[in-house]
Amino acid sequence: MRLYDYDIPDDACARIGSALGHLGSKWALPIVMRLGDGPVRFNELRRQVPGISQKVLTATLRSLERNGYVRRTQVASVPPQVDYDLTPQCRALLLPMRDLVRTAVEQQAVKTLPRLTPVRGRFILLINHANRHFGKGHVSRRD
């Protein structure tokens, strides 16, 4: 398969899909992006990822560790100290992941922008979410 100027082996799509599946989940992506700034302790990470529960954070970190994206380091101290950091394999993916996130955010912003559309010699303002709130034929008029 050819994608732009890159030759992609046939089995690469499955590997890419697998990586996106592991790293693109609701909670894995913010966790990985935060760990991109350096090692973090569990409770600090929990505070920095708003809305995540302790159970979900634990499960997501274990999954990322099992799949080779996150490294867990336990320091023998009282109380025990555990740091989480990205593996070199995952750190190499940070830049493309940030570009992917930026593109997704920009595309979502473009989709939600109101746009002026000519209708019968006049311009009307079409708002994408208006149909959900007011029914199909609703538009705001603007001269």
> pLDDT for 10-31, tens place per residue?
777 777 777 777 777 788 888 9
Tokens 């950091």 belong to residue: 85
Set out the domains of the chain in order of their start, with CATH numbers. Answer: 2-93 (1.10.10.10)
From CA 42, how far away is CA 54, in angstroms rounded?
Answer: 9
Burial class (CB within 10 angstroms; exposed 0-12, middle 13-18, buried 19+) of 71: middle
Containing 100, the helix (H) or strand (E) segment is helix 94-112
Residue-wise DSSP of 18-68: HHHHHHSSTTHHHHHHHHTTS-EEHHHHHHHSTT--HHHHHHHHHHHHHTT
Task: Quote the CA–CA distance of 67 and 71 in Å, as a whole number.
Answer: 10
- Beta strands, E only, 39-143: 40-41, 70-75, 81-86, 115-119, 122-126, 140-141
User: 141 or 4, which is more confident?
Assistant: 4
Count CB neighbours of 120 within 10 A.
5
pTM over 0.75: no
Residue closest to 101 by CA, chosen among 34, 52, 54? 34
Condensed to tens digits (0 to 9), the pLDDT of residues 79-126 reads 888 999 999 988 988 888 888 878 877 877 666 655 555 555 454 444
Looking at per-residue pLDDT, the higher value among 137 and 9 belongs to: 9
